[in-house]
Structure 1
Amino acid sequence: MSMLTPAVQRSTLGLHTLEQYEPLIGAAGVERIAAKANRLGTMRVAHISSTFYGGGVTELLTPLTLMMNASGIETDWHLIQGTPGFFGCTKKLHNTLQGERVEFSDAEKTIYEQVVFENAMRLHLEDCDAVIVHDPQPLPLIAHFPDRDMPWLWQCHVDLSSPYAPVWAYLRRFIGQYDAAIFSLPEYGQDLGGGQHFVTPAIDPFSAKNRELSAREIGEFLGNYKIPTDRPLVTQISRFDRWKDPTGVIEAFRKARQQVDCTLVLVGNNASDDPEGGKILEAIQSAADDGIIILSVDDPTLVNALQRSAAVVLQKSLREGFGLTVTEAMWKGAAVIGGNVGGIRHQIKDGWNGFLVDTPDQAADRIVRLLKDARLRRQIGSRARESVRQNFLMSRLLEDWLDLLSRYERRVA
């Protein structure tokens, strides 16, 4: 007999149900996760982030919140609003958490805290059994709910291996008020004096960005954007962000092109809470030439088609909390070259299911090697897909969250 909740059974005609994952994780895996969801009963959870558009947090929360609801966990997703000045401040916080040494002034602190206060006045969380706040943008919210009787958890999705100490000390005033902090990887853990957990991100294999595509569909989408296929495609798909090193990608491509004729396609979008994206896009457009195609679009099926048709997929990040674009490309059996940083190192085993690089010269060398060896591309791609199936699918992320929330079940019962 199925252990799926009535909520799951009612929604079997829709998406984001555990039953969809049975061909990938097996019936026993589905039953195990469903049993954990059932044990949490009628828990109500609220996620709070700064944008519904662009970036890895959105890629995670879109399917996760739907799967939680389909599994019987009533789950809301709230968006905080902000001015351009506010998002300029939070982008600086993001950069300092990843190690940039710039001061966060008193005036910036005032803007940051005032906008978060205004958002707190609009939020009604009294009926929630757990509140999960994502990244630094909404972090100070907790200070405006002194009478809370449910656990508040803060999840940080960025590379926290070496945060800038003065800004980290400022943010810890808020982090210390949470019941626990959640990081993507153990190496991002901090001495917080309280609980901390580690939850690795994952992808939705059934989304428009990751679903199977026919050769005809791939050809149509590449044609719609006038992407030529007469030469091997090399691509990087990520936000226009200096931490993704798009200029380093262009440098590596130009060196590789001296040995193997190919085309570079850079695809990205600007997250609504990232004011630096436009400047980065202008910089790489000015550096482009006839062999480089740059697209600023939000089209998940184009991303899917490119990752499936590219001979090489790059994610040459300088800092990376995890790197979902790496996971997505590996799921499609792509040969991926990633920056030797952060979460990318937890996905790619160098030389086995992809390559890790530190410099444009290394990236160029691996591009040439892969373009010249179709058999190597196929071997690496096959291993890459299997590693994602085993470790980085949304069903596993849902189970991690069910396990984490169960630790607080006694407090919310």
Structure 2
Amino acid sequence: MKTWKGKRQLAKLEDYEPVIGKERVAAIRELAVPLQGVVIQHINSTAVGGGVAEILKRLVPLMEDVGLVPRWDVLRGTDEFFSITKLFHNAFHGQPVEINECMFDTYREVSRQNFDLVDTTAGFVVLHDQQPLGLAGLRPGHPGDWLWYCHIDPVDVDLRLWDFLRGYAARCDGAVYHLPEYVKELGNRVYVMPPSIDPLSEKNRDVDEEERRTVLARLGVPGDLPLVVQVSRFDRLKDPVGVIRSFRMVRDQVPCRLVLAGGGAGDDPQGLQVLEEVRREAAGDPDIMVLELAPDADLEINVLQRSAAVIVQKSVREGFGLTVTEAMWKSRPVVATPVGGIRIQVLHEETGLAAAGDQSVAEAVVRILKNPGLAAAMGRAGHELVRRNFIIPVYLERWLGMLAAERSLICT
């Protein structure tokens, strides 16, 4: 499935001048000059749902705008394949899973069936996460530069799985990780590049009060109580059932309402099962709302986050945590488990409160609900941290620097 090949939509770089300034925009365009006309192909496992698809939806048009020739292709796979790669995903995060040789055979076969996706003219081929990594079997003989971009936390990856995948990853010319501690020894070049959000997207743009109230009414969310909100895929690694346990402790001290909002991703077949678990846990509780949102419900997510008194992200493991980034951009106070990339976003007592475990999360939420001054101060600090580090034009700048570095190495 080809989802992008040279058709511009969305924002241009100059649209971000109010956020980063005219001089920074000019500097980014200058950085792109040596890369004019270079074909860069992104390959991932889904066009909707999940952080990678969200990033590419905004990054690819900006790459075109500054003169590259980007394309974005999505791996074709069966339900069996995506069930297997979901197990692989969990195994990357150190979850106990049963992996067998038949799974590896299926992975190899689906990879071979997708070899035709690879653009033989591409100057760069970027494989996002482990699902398309098997395409690296085509690296020998391909004229371009190959990068594996690992968007998840591989620190505790299952050893049998890593023994299988590392050979593919090592065939790439370089590997990109969100954090320095995620780096795996593969013998290729290493880059560290955290992801970003787009402040101008429907999910993050400013919303006026009338629009906010209209969307909340459409969702059936009343405004009579402070909202505690978690926005995430329905995934056990996001611990939505644990959020409910924490909320009930909070409600014993401060009247409030919990909204758990999210959806699935095209490559995550377990989402519906987890959603049912959450609904069973919340059943009959009038102060808990479980909202299953469509993949394109960006405005709804925007409004829910902006309406929250507190945003919670109670992840067990996290590659980076872009829902935290979104909340901080909106100047909302955040309570989050200090795992993965959340640790470089939620700076305890400065941009949010770090808390682990049901009781600690509940205590942190109560503290924010009872202290609006603290909530406002952390919201302001969080917004500025995101503006400086985790928005799409800054991300594009880092991409251009990395690609230019790779190109100079190739040409020397």
TM-score category of the 2 structures, normalised to the smaller one: over 0.9
Match of 2:143 among 140, 149, 174: 149
The runs of 5 or more residues in structure 1 that have no matched partner are 1-10
Instruction: Work out whether residues 337 and 366 of structure 1, in 8 Å CA contact, stay in contact via their aligned partners in 2.
Output: yes
One-letter amino acid of the counterpart of residue 141, structure 2:
D
Q: 1:8 matched to which residue of 2?
A: none
**CA deviation map 1:291-348 (0-9, x unaligned):** 1100111211011001111100011111000000000000001011111100000101
User: What SS does the aligned partner of 2:156 have?
Assistant: coil
- Indicate if the aligned counterparts of 2:121 and 2:143 stay in contact, CA closer than 8 A: no
State the distance in 2 between where 1:103 and 1:290 align: 39
Match of 2:401 among 394, 400, 403: 403
Q: Partner residue of 2:3?
A: none
Question: Which residue pairs with 1:173 in the alignment?
Answer: 167
Residues 31-50 of structure 1: per-residue CA shift (max 9 Å, x gap): 11110112212111000000
Residues 153, 182 of structure 2: 8 Å contact kept:
yes
Contact 2:139–2:146 (CA under 8 A) maintained in structure 1: no
Deviations 1:353-376, CA, capped at 9 Å, x for gaps: 101111110110011111111111
- 1:16 corresponds in structure 2 to 11
Q: CA RMSD in A?
A: 1.4
Aligned to 1:230: 224
Cα pair 1:270 1:277 within 8 Å, conserved: yes
Which residue is 1:112 aligned to?
107
For the 8 Å contact 2:338–2:346, the answer to whether it is kept is: no
Counterpart position of 1:3: none
CA shift, 1:124, in A, is: 4.5
Is contact 1:129-1:412 (8 Å) kept?
Answer: no
Q: What is aligned with 1:134?
A: 128
**1:300 matched residue in structure 2:** 298
1:264 lines up with 2:258 in the alignment = yes
- Residue 208 of structure 1 is matched in structure 2 by 202
Deviation at residue 126 of structure 1 after TM alignment: 1.4
Q: Is the 8 A contact 1:18 1:67 kept in 2?
A: yes
How far is 1:147 from its partner? Answer: 1.8
The offset of 1:146, in angstroms, is: 3.2
State whether residues 91 and 275 of structure 1, in contact with CA within 8 Å, keep that contact through their aligned partners in structure 2: yes
| Distance (Å, rounded) in 2 between the aligned partners of 1:193 and 1:38 | 30
For 2:21 and 2:112, the matched residues in 1 are separated by 46
- Equivalent residue number for residue 320 of structure 1: 318
- Identical counterparts, % of pairs: 41
Aligned to 1:4: none
Structure 2 residue 276 is the aligned partner of structure 1 residue 282: yes
Contact in 1 for aligned 2:331/2:379 (Cα 8 Å): yes
The answer to whether the 8 A contact 1:150-1:412 is kept is no
Q: Say which SS state the counterpart of residue 223 (structure 2) adopts.
A: coil
Contact in 2 for aligned 1:238/1:268 (Cα 8 Å): yes
Structure 2: where are the runs of 5+ without partners?
1-7
CA contact (8 A) 1:117 1:144 kept: no
Q: Provide the secondary structure at the position in 1 that maps to 2:340.
A: coil
Give the AA of the match of 1:408: E
CA contact (8 A) 2:197 2:392 kept: yes
- 8 Å CA contact retained: 2:139, 2:171: no
Letter in 1 for 2:93: Q
**1:389 corresponds to which letter in structure 2?**
R
Q: Given the alignment of the two structures, is residue 362 of structure 1 paired with residue 360 of structure 2, yes or no?
A: yes
Q: Aligned partners of 2:103, 2:44: CA distance in 1, in Å?
A: 20
- State the TM-score, normalizing by the size of structure 1: 0.95
* Partner Cα separation in structure 1 for residue 126 and residue 37 of structure 2: 17
Tell me the residue number matched to 1:384. Answer: 382
- Give the match for residue 233 of structure 2: 239
Residue-by-residue CA offset, 1:170-200 (whole Å, 9 max, x unaligned)? 1101111110111111010111122111111
Structure-2-length-normalised TM-score: 0.95
Whether 2:53 is the aligned partner of 1:58: answer yes
Q: Which residue of 2 aligns with 1:162?
A: 156
| Separation of aligned partners in 1, 2:58 and 2:132 | 21
Cα shift at 1:103: 3.6
Aligned to 2:26: 31
Q: Do the aligned partners of 2:139 and 2:172 also contact (CA within 8 Å) in 1?
A: no
SS in 2 for 1:47: strand
Q: 1:159·1:321 contact (CA, 8 Å) conserved in 2?
A: yes
- Is the Cα–Cα contact under 8 Å of residues 233 and 262 in structure 2 kept in the other structure? yes
Question: What is the identity, as a one-letter code, of the residue corresponding to 2:291?
Answer: L
2:324 touches 2:342 (CA, 8 Å); kept in 1?
A: yes
Structure 1 position 83 matched with structure 2 position 56: no
Alignment CA distance shift 1:412-1:82 (3 Å): farther
Q: Return the alpha-carbon distance in structure 2 between the equivalents of residues 232 and 100 of structure 1.
A: 35
CA distance in 2, matches of 1:57, 1:171: 20
Deviation (angstroms), 1:264: 0.3
Letter in 1 for 2:45: S
Whole-angstrom distance in 1 between the partners of 2:10 and 2:303: 21
Q: Deviations over 1:5-44 (max 9, x none)?
A: xxxxxx8xx6321111111111221111110112212111
State the 1:412 CA deviation.
6.7
1:230 maps to a residue whose letter is D
Quick one: distance in 2 between partners of 1:117 and 1:30?
41
Q: C-alpha separation between the residues in 2 aligned to 1:41 and 1:297?
A: 39
Distance 1:15 1:169 in 2: 40
Q: What displacement does 1:145 show? A: 4.7
3-state DSSP class of the match of 2:300? Answer: helix
Aligned partner of 1:117: which letter?
R
| Aligned-partner Cα distance in 1 for 2:411–2:399 | 15
- Give the Cα separation in 2 of the matches to 1:399 and 1:369: 38
* Residue type at the aligned position of 1:225: L
Aligned to 1:6: none
**Structure-2 separation of matches of 1:340 and 1:124:** 38
